[in-house]
Structure 1
Amino acid sequence: MLDVNDFALIFVAFITCLVILTVGKNMWKRRKLPPGPFPLPILGNFLQFQSEGLIPYFLKMSEKYGPVFTVYMGSRPTVVLCGYQAVKEALVDHGDNFGGRGNIPVFERLFNKSGLVLANGEAWKQLKQFSLLTLRDFGMGKKSLEEPIQREAQHLVDHFRNSNEQPIDPTNIMICASSNIIAAIIMGTRYDYNDKKWMKILHDMHEAFSVACSFWGQEKQNSKAPFNTENLVATVFDMFLGGAESTGITLIFGFLILLKYPEIQEKLHEEVDQVIGRRREPMIEDRNNMPYMNATIHEIQRFSNVLPLGIIRSTTKEVNYRGYHIPQGTDMLPILGTVLRDPSQFETPEEINLKHFLDENGKFKKNNGFLAFSAGKRTCIGESLVRMQLFIYFATILQKFKLKTTVDPKDLDINPAECGIETLPPSFKISFIPRE
């Protein structure tokens, strides 16, 4: 008859066999995937993520295993891509094979697995086409959208003028200003910067994002069609997160950088005065005649690196990539931050350097490493809107104000206060000094 010690021995033997089988199964699955750190059963590499942070851990693994390696989010493998060449090969050269959306449990719960960001296959194609056509009908990519952005810029000017040169934190105001453009496109309205209810909504969206971006005709009766209320709501929410949040954070980073480098601000003032003057409103067509402003905005976007992890992809079919066998449905994580700071594309990637986007004659030049909006078929659909906002807001504010810091510019820290899914600037205050 078995005693307690025998039961304990059998239990230990059972657990040992289970662990061996699990490890063996994982090793068999991993044999053709890119190399990477050894995962624990069930937990994968979760403990390393927690102790070191996602970005530092991925950079460390890239140094050890190269630009393509595998980590485990729990029991699920994720192939991580670092640097311009690896990301370009996957998202551009083999874009069809890496065009799926990977698993994002936080956002799946937040959006109830709905919306453009999480969609795959035919549903994604239909939602993307619908979103693009709808946004174009409302003015996206057209000169008609310039007017609401110009109006919002004037609201910003009035607000900053009313601050009477007192130091203020611009964070909430800039995110609200960006969200108002999306609200104007989608809902035909704007919200005052003192609207507590709207600001609370934006705050809650920001928090949700930090923890983690008749319309139907006869179609309502087709259960497979993506045009339903859940997808509509989730897609609108995508636009606010991807458009308002990221644009607002980029503007705030821009202010901080211009405070840190007053010589850049001075040259921007000179260019604004020369091309636009002090009276008329900046227009998007002015951008073609303002290479220094254009280069500055690109460098702000590159350095601020608002979404350093990008958004997870997945393989749409079995892929042979760089000699590795990657099964269909495997999650792929292109680390866009490593592209924006790739020394093969940018001379001084860790520093602000406008020569990244200016040639020897002072003319604007494109840089292949500038993938702030991602790349391939799943690039950001709001890219043109974001570009318009950044230019008009920066040009209008610099036309009317000199930005002044409350401390010595040399003492300003422009490094991010938080770096995970989203990069956030450190808190600071700024005085808007009228130039008139």
Structure 2
Amino acid sequence: MIIVLSVDHFLISFKRKENPPQMPSLKYAILLSIVTSFLYFRIMRSFEMDSYTTIYIYLFFCAVSYIFYELDYKRRRLPNGPMPWLLSGNMPSFINVKNVDDLFLFWKQRYGGIFTVWIGPIPLVMVSDLPTIKKYFIQHADAFSNRWRNFVTDSIMEGSNGIVQIDGDKWREQRRFALHTLRDFGVGRPLMEQMITLEVTTLMNHMEKTCGLSTKEVNLCPSIAVCVGNIINNMLFGLRFNQDNSYMHRLHSLLDDQSHTVMQPIMGAYIAFTVTTKVPVINGEWDRLMGIKKELLEFLEGQIQKHRENWKEEMMEQEPEDLTYAYMIEVEKRKRAGEDVGFFDDQQLKMLLLDLFFAGMETTVTTLKWAFLLMAKNPRVQQKVQEELDSIAQPMIEIQHRTRLPYIQATINEIQRIANILPINLLRTVAEDIDIDGYQFKKGDLIIPQISILMNDPEIFKNPKDFCPERFLDENLNVKKIDEFLPFSIGRRQCLGESLARAELYLIFANLMQNFKFEVSEDVTTERVLGLTVSPVQYTCKISRRGLDHNQNCVK
């Protein structure tokens, strides 16, 4: 380890300033190796060395050449970063680390705002300062906005389908359709608030029934998941579940399991060596992931089938009831007009629904899990939040009240910053060869805007581990814009459902905080559980009503 660090320091000190040379293609590298080997043995034979000595010297020469290639040559064209280990890259650095955010921040402080981490033999460039993020992912969005497809993603999405893992014309067409349809269903409009308010009211009634007039210790997370799930289910399928519905709780559990399973280290082996998915014992996580996928797709296929069975001709002239019907109507209209249906097909519909269902639930539910845990762990902030909410003196907090609730907005911002639920942004790839800032990016190279580093950077957020909503307020106690605060990512791959998520977080958080008090025991921690999104450890919360019911009647 000491040797590796010494070599790392040496290479940093003598890093070349000129543009690095092009790396040879694989076929030329193999040809060069064959020719070099032939010449080497001819030369060694001329020195009349015995065969064993010749082989030993040759193997030593190969080993030295390989080490030089791994530790120096292959890294020249990309931004500097931590020295990779042979074969495993920087993966050993993740084994004993308690907080991956701290590791990324350490690398940024050491190597600068753009650096390369090696996932085995695969380089991943992390961009973690705002000017460079804007330069790469906004100014050069065409070059840095593709997605990384691999064996795991293709197996889950059954090829290039959905909306998250696709590129090019298909992505543009399907994203345009999804945005247009979601807007028609009220996203960003008053209709959206009505849908959310209905589910929030249902959730609060359920919580009041659970709590009664006393304090009850409950696991709040499943109830929040049903509330958020019903909002996206209603848009996608026209479907709602009761709070006590076990099937909805099962769907939420599947999404949680999928989020954590895909982040298991063994997934790297499945990607690099696909045969391992068929090897007993080590393919356990793969079988688990495929089982989750199968159960989720059975739910989606069931919803699609119900829509087909309930299809009526008059729907062609009516506003669609949900996104599934909107998709079917779009396909039928194109067919009847003799137009190309483009990338619209049954498989794409199923995977589009899977992406929207996961994205519409997982991120918002996870953020709200953190929200009420952080409120319970920070009673001072909880009290200030409730004092501001009490100033509204209305039975329901609405979107129109937002401008009168700056501390609420600042608190939600701080919850998103502290929760920092995407430890590694969804992987993007370089769409075409490009030279920029002295680096040579090849088509297919992995690169991401590493937003999580910005959210933890002490140069931007003083004492970043402290929960302090006041950091988002200016001297006049108005909400302060901080450019580096990017919880919904940036550029063309910015979150499709941002406006919906913002409205959900605000209305659910504000109304529950207005009506209930949250407490947790001392032993409940804010430890982070790594997955596609980072969740808190499962916790139970003591919940009590705050003295007023929804009709503003005193509760005795």
Please report the TM-score for the alignment, with normalisation by the length of structure 1.
Answer: 0.88
Q: How far is the alpha carbon of 1:13 from its aligned partner?
A: 7.7
Whichever residue aligns with residue 125 of structure 2, its letter is V
From 91, 114, 135, the counterpart of 1:46? 91
CA separation of 1:185 and 1:224: change in aligned 2, threshold 3 A: closer
Quote the Cα distance in structure 2 between the aligned partners of 1:104 and 1:265: 44
Quote the Cα distance in structure 1 between the aligned partners of 2:106 and 2:391: 47
SS at match of 1:167: strand
Whichever residue aligns with residue 62 of structure 1, its letter is K
Which residue in 1 is equivalent to 2:461? 346
2:232–2:361 CA contact under 8 A, matched in 1:
yes
CA separation of 1:420 and 1:62: change in aligned 2, threshold 3 A: farther
Which residue in 2 is equivalent to 1:139? 186
From 342, 349, 352, the counterpart of 1:232? 349
SS at match of 1:123: helix
Structure 2: runs of 5+ lacking an equivalent: 1-49, 264-327, 549-556
From 535, 544, 553, the counterpart of 1:433? 544
SS at match of 1:191: coil
Q: How far is the alpha carbon of 1:266 from its aligned partner?
A: 1.7
Q: How far is the alpha carbon of 1:195 from its aligned partner?
A: 1.4
Quote the Cα distance in structure 1 between the aligned partners of 2:479 and 2:528: 30
SS at match of 1:216: helix
Which residue in 1 is equivalent to 2:371? 254
CA separation of 1:17 and 1:294: change in aligned 2, threshold 3 A: same
Which residue in 2 is equivalent to 1:413? 525
From 494, 502, 506, the counterpart of 1:379? 494
Structure 1 stretch displaced more, 266-275 or 366-375? 266-275
Q: How far is the alpha carbon of 1:333 from its aligned partner?
A: 2.6
Q: Deviations over 1:96-117 (max 9, x none)?
A: 3211112455333222232111
CA separation of 1:346 and 1:210: change in aligned 2, threshold 3 A: same
2:101–2:453 CA contact under 8 A, matched in 1:
no
Whichever residue aligns with residue 525 of structure 2, its letter is D
Which residue in 1 is equivalent to 2:225? 175
Structure 1 stretch displaced more, 15-24 or 96-105? 15-24
Quote the Cα distance in structure 2 between the aligned partners of 1:102 and 1:241: 18
Quote the Cα distance in structure 2 between the aligned partners of 1:143 and 1:135: 13
SS at match of 2:331: coil
Which residue in 2 is equivalent to 1:187? 237
From 201, 204, 207, the counterpart of 2:257? 207
From 376, 385, 402, the counterpart of 1:287? 402
Indicate whether 1:106 and 2:189 are aligned: no
Indicate whether 1:267 and 2:398 are aligned: no
- RMSD of aligned alpha carbons: 2.9
1:22–1:41 CA contact under 8 A, matched in 2:
no
Indicate whether 1:119 and 2:177 are aligned: no
From 195, 201, 206, the counterpart of 1:159? 206
Q: Deviations over 1:11-48 (max 9, x none)?
A: 87887676566556655443211123444555433343
Structure 1: runs of 5+ lacking an equivalent: 1-5
CA separation of 1:271 and 1:40: change in aligned 2, threshold 3 A: closer
Please report the TM-score for the alignment, with normalisation by the length of structure 2.
Answer: 0.70
Whichever residue aligns with residue 383 of structure 2, its letter is E
Which residue in 2 is equivalent to 1:333? 448
SS at match of 2:216: coil
Whichever residue aligns with residue 366 of structure 2, its letter is I
Quote the Cα distance in structure 1 between the aligned partners of 2:258 and 2:504: 24
Q: Deviations over 1:346-405 (max 9, x none)?
A: 233221122221111111121111110000111001000001111111121122222233
Indicate whether 1:401 and 2:519 are aligned: no
Which residue in 1 is equivalent to 2:428? 313
Larger Rg: 2
Whichever residue aligns with residue 163 of structure 2, its letter is L
2:255–2:358 CA contact under 8 A, matched in 1:
yes
Indicate whether 1:128 and 2:128 are aligned: no
**How many residues end up aligned between the 2 structures?**
425
SS at match of 1:257: helix
1:373–1:380 CA contact under 8 A, matched in 2:
yes
Whichever residue aligns with residue 150 of structure 1, its letter is T
Which residue in 1 is equivalent to 2:117? 71
1:247–1:386 CA contact under 8 A, matched in 2:
yes
Q: How far is the alpha carbon of 1:320 from its aligned partner?
A: 3.1
From 387, 404, 417, the counterpart of 1:302? 417
Quote the Cα distance in structure 2 between the aligned partners of 1:155 and 1:100: 40
Q: How far is the alpha carbon of 1:10 from its aligned partner?
A: 8.9
CA separation of 1:103 and 1:20: change in aligned 2, threshold 3 A: farther
1:278–1:400 CA contact under 8 A, matched in 2:
no
Quote the Cα distance in structure 2 between the aligned partners of 1:62 and 1:55: 11
CA separation of 1:140 and 1:99: change in aligned 2, threshold 3 A: same
1:209–1:241 CA contact under 8 A, matched in 2:
no
Quote the Cα distance in structure 1 between the aligned partners of 2:349 and 2:409: 34
CA separation of 1:290 and 1:137: change in aligned 2, threshold 3 A: same
CA separation of 1:417 and 1:263: change in aligned 2, threshold 3 A: same
